[in-house]
Amino acid sequence: MIVALAGGVGGAKLADGLYRTLPAGQLRVVVNTADDLDLFGLRICPDVDTVMYTLAGLANPETGWGIAGDTFEALAMLSRYERDVWFKVGDRDFATHIARTDRLRAGLSLTAVTSELCRALGIQAEILPMADEPIATRLLTGAGSLEFQDYFVRRHHEDLVIGVEFHGIAAARPTSAVQNAVSRAEAIIFCPSNPIVSIGPILAVPGLRDLLIQRAVPKVGVSPIVGGRALRGPADRMLGSLGHEISAYGVAKLYQGILDGFVIDEADARLAGRIESLGMHVLVTPTIMTTTGDRADLAMRVLDFCTQLRQESSSRL
Amino acid sequence: MIVALAGGVGGAKLADGLYRTLPAGQLRVVVNTADDLDLFGLRICPDVDTVMYTLAGLANPETGWGIAGDTFEALAMLSRYERDVWFKVGDRDFATHIARTDRLRAGLSLTAVTSELCRALGIQAEILPMADEPIATRLLTGAGSLEFQDYFVRRHHEDLVIGVEFHGIAAARPTSAVQNAVSRAEAIIFCPSNPIVSIGPILAVPGLRDLLIQRAVPKVGVSPIVGGRALRGPADRMLGSLGHEISAYGVAKLYQGILDGFVIDEADARLAGRIESLGMHVLVTPTIMTTTGDRADLAMRVLDFCTQLRQESSSRL
């Protein structure tokens, strides 16, 4: 059984590759919830939904969010009701938020609700919110402290980020589902998601980083930065403004002490030596996932890398 | 200023006729809320919505409920999430329930929320929920006690109704908006809605019946029963199974002591004498509203009837 840590689009792509590569039931994806929000009184979990829609084969490949072919009648009507509709929610997507909110209000945990939704969509993997407690990323920017989706969607992640806070994280704990997944995983994979605001909050859940460090199984990350640029989103600018190197090395350094392997793109082959100096094995391989086939190909290579690390580790014993 | 009491479709049609006939701002419609329900965690007010959509020109004339041209993507997705979708909610209709529920949870009264929605839809009339407290009609039937929409929608109002209860009504009070409307009305019109489960709950709000009785202005009802049959819905069977005469007379008798005028269809002209014996003036006129023009025509005749009753009343003084 493999555990993947993921945020939104990039993470969902590799999670999807793993899902299509591993036997049914052998994948558990721990997903960032720090960019969740309440909108129109509904609880929206953008990263959980992106992973869920992607694994269910429903995701919209053009936008990276929402459901392919979704319509926007409810949103248009909410606009008519003078509600601010800056965050685009499609009609089918609304159903997810309605069902989730209804079940949360009935007292179920986010983990339990997510499990219900995934089962209904026929997903044969476990999608595990990183925590059941509400956590909210706030970004300190030149324009002041911004809620994550305000920064990301409404303001098109254009503000310079000089600080990041995960509100509520101190009160959060790894769920028993996440603890169970991590403790039983044969390998742990950090998907190519934003290391600051996607993987970062997962590692910031008190106790979770230690749980990961303690596991003596291959732990491998895939760089979301290729050739010094984020494939999607603001990870590159965010690394820079927070004082990190804008490169695969900069990402690897954030995971130093946790990961024992790091996957970088061929475009970044020259960084292999520096990343190895952080105490990580390095796999240099094509990492850009354009087609669905690319996802499974990369997943296969990442899994092979894990097998290789496991064998090297055994041979050392 | 005219006050109309209304339930769903039939009531909304006459309310719409009055709206199109009276000067802007001169109509207030007090609407039944006893068939409101919570579905998927959202508060749905079927009668309020039918009146609101009708006055906004959005109503679906084919179904009698919902919004013309609405789509059902969210509902289909909720079905995929294994939610029971017996109650049909369109995507634009969902926006109404989402906006309403959000504002109710924020602490606004149903009256205030309804006012916001109506203003956003450009409705230049006041649509007033009969009460802000949640009230729920339960029907005693051969199949046991049924919630209203369970009886009406899911079971296609086929059960024999042997009793009616309005749960929560004892704790309800006429809202200040309803009190103000009734006390300032120059005439009060009972729309052709079901007298048992549409107008009935309004009259059952403690204190409201007395407020109506005390007003010395023309109070006129329009029969929803024509030729011994309900134009729509189960009013005819319900009258019968509850021991009332299935006729315009049977309806008028339920309003005895409140109304001083009753409008019946030409098909029921023979009932005029009996209804007059209840202490009401009677107007015999075509009452079936097929076209939008019919609504305004009937509204005009009802308003003329009110004027006539006012003049007779003045001449008697």
What is the predicted pLDDT for the residue at B106? 97
User: Which of chain A's residues have a Cβ under 8 Å away from the Cβ of B101?
Assistant: 41
What are the structure tokens assigned to A228, written together? Answer: 């010094």
Judge whether B27 and B212 are in contact, CB under 8 Å. Answer: no
User: How many percent of chain B have pLDDT more than 90?
Assistant: 92
User: Which of chain A's residues have a Cβ under 8 Å away from the Cβ of B71?
Assistant: 71, 73, 91
Length of chain B equals 317
Q: Phi-psi bin for A25: left (phi > 0), alpha (psi -120 to 50), beta?
A: left
B34-58: per-residue pLDDT in tens?
A: 999 999 999 999 999 999 999 999 9
Average pLDDT over residues B146-157: 91
What is the predicted pLDDT for the residue at A312? 86
User: How many percent of chain A have pLDDT more than 70?
Assistant: 99
User: Which of chain B's residues have a Cβ under 8 Å away from the Cβ of A90?
Assistant: 73
Judge whether A18 and A201 are in contact, CB under 8 Å. Answer: no
DSSP state of A260: S
What are the structure tokens assigned to A35, written together? Answer: 């960019």
Q: Supply the range of the domain harboring residue B65.
A: 1-134+172-317
* CA distances, A267 to each of A185, A256, A298 (Å): 31, 22, 15
The closest of A85, A104, A205 to A149, measured between CA atoms, is A85
DSSP state of B192: S
B54-113: per-residue pLDDT in tens?
A: 999 999 888 888 999 999 999 999 999 999 999 999 999 999 999 999 999 999 999 999
The closest of B149, B161, B160 to B84, measured between CA atoms, is B149
Minimum Cα–Cα distance from B99: chain A residue: A40
Average pLDDT over residues B13-37: 97
Mutate to test the interface with A, among B81, B104, B114 (most CBs of A within 10 A): B81
Q: B317: pLDDT confidence band, cut at 50, 70 and 90? A: low
Q: B250: pLDDT confidence band, cut at 50, 70 and 90? A: very high
What is the predicted pLDDT for the residue at B231? 85
What is the predicted pLDDT for the residue at A102? 98
Angstrom distance (rounded) from CA A305 to CA B120: 58
State whether B91 and B157 are in the same domain: no
What is the predicted pLDDT for the residue at A317? 59
Q: A313: pLDDT confidence band, cut at 50, 70 and 90? A: confident
What is the predicted pLDDT for the residue at B314? 80
Angstrom distance (rounded) from CA A303 to CA B3: 72
Length of chain A equals 317
State whether A120 and A161 are in the same domain: no
A122-141: per-residue pLDDT in tens?
A: 999 999 999 999 999 999 99
Mutate to test the interface with A, among B43, B98, B108 (most CBs of A within 10 A): B98
Q: B8: pLDDT confidence band, cut at 50, 70 and 90? A: confident
Angstrom distance (rounded) from CA B138 to CA B151: 9
State whether B215 and B114 are in the same domain: yes
Which of A148, A169, A190 is the last residue in one of the domains?
A169
Angstrom distance (rounded) from CA B70 to CA B93: 8
Cβ neighbours of B148 (radius 10 Å): 22
A251-284: per-residue pLDDT in tens?
A: 999 999 999 999 999 999 999 999 999 999 999 9
Burial of A176 (0-12, 13-18, 19+ CB in 10 A): exposed
State whether B84 and B107 are in the same domain: yes
Q: Phi-psi bin for B74: left (phi > 0), alpha (psi -120 to 50), beta?
A: alpha
Interface of A with B (CB under 8 A): 40-42, 67, 70-71, 73-78, 80-83, 90-92, 94-96, 98-99, 101-102, 105-106, 116-117, 120-121
Instruction: Give ipTM to 2 decimals.
Output: 0.93
Q: B315: pLDDT confidence band, cut at 50, 70 and 90? A: confident
State whether B210 and B304 are in the same domain: yes
DSSP state of B104: H
Q: B117: pLDDT confidence band, cut at 50, 70 and 90? A: very high
- Measure A56 CA to nearest chain B CA, in Å: 12
CA atoms within 13 A on the CB side of A235: 30
Which of A149, A169, A189 is the last residue in one of the domains?
A169
State whether A188 and A244 are in the same domain: yes
Average pLDDT over residues B299-305: 98
Average pLDDT over residues B302-311: 96
State whether A90 and A147 are in the same domain: no
Sign of CA dihedral B73, B78, B84, B89: negative
Question: Dihedral, CA atoms, B177, B178, B179, B185, nearest 10 degrees?
Answer: 110
* CA distances, A111 to each of A2, A87, A129, A298, B145 (Å): 18, 24, 6, 28, 36
Average pLDDT over residues B249-253: 98
Question: Dihedral, CA atoms, A172, A177, A181, A183, nearest 10 degrees?
Answer: 70
What is the predicted pLDDT for the residue at B75? 98
Total structural domains within chain B: 2
How many residue pairs from chains A and B have C-beta atoms closer than 8 A? 101
Beta bridge partners, A38, equal A43
What are the structure tokens assigned to A139, written together? Answer: 């970004």
Angstrom distance (rounded) from CA A191 to CA A221: 6
State whether B163 and B185 are in the same domain: no
| Mean residue pLDDT across chain A | 96
A223-238: per-residue pLDDT in tens?
A: 999 999 998 889 999 9
What is the predicted pLDDT for the residue at B65? 86
What is the predicted pLDDT for the residue at B312? 86
Angstrom distance (rounded) from CA B97 to CA B39: 9
B217-227: per-residue pLDDT in tens?
A: 999 999 999 99
The closest of A261, A229, A233 to A248, measured between CA atoms, is A229
* CA distances, A52 to each of A15, A109, A125, B142 (Å): 10, 17, 10, 45
pTM of the entire predicted model: 0.94
User: Which of chain A's residues have a Cβ under 8 Å away from the Cβ of B76?
Assistant: 92, 95
State whether B31 and B155 are in the same domain: no
Instruction: Characterize the bridge pairing of strands B136-141 and B161-167.
Output: antiparallel
- Report the number of secondary-structure helices (H) and strands (E) in chain B: 13, 14
Residue type, B18: L
Angstrom distance (rounded) from CA A224 to CA A277: 20
CATH code of A54's domain: 3.40.50.10680
pLDDT at residue B167 tops 70: yes
Angstrom distance (rounded) from CA B258 to CA B200: 12
Q: What angle do CA B25, B27, B30 make, to 5 degrees?
A: 130
The closest of A293, A309, A316, A192 to A251, measured between CA atoms, is A192
State whether A161 and A223 are in the same domain: no
State whether B31 and B130 are in the same domain: yes
Q: What angle do CA A189, A190, A191 make, to 5 degrees?
A: 105
What are the structure tokens assigned to B19, written together? Answer: 């709206």
Question: Is there a contact between B102 and A76 if contact means CB atoms under 8 Å apart?
Answer: no
Q: Which residues contact A48 (CB under 8 A, 6 or more apart)?
A: A31, A33, A36, A110, A114, A127, A129
State whether B126 and B146 are in the same domain: no
| Mean residue pLDDT across chain B | 96
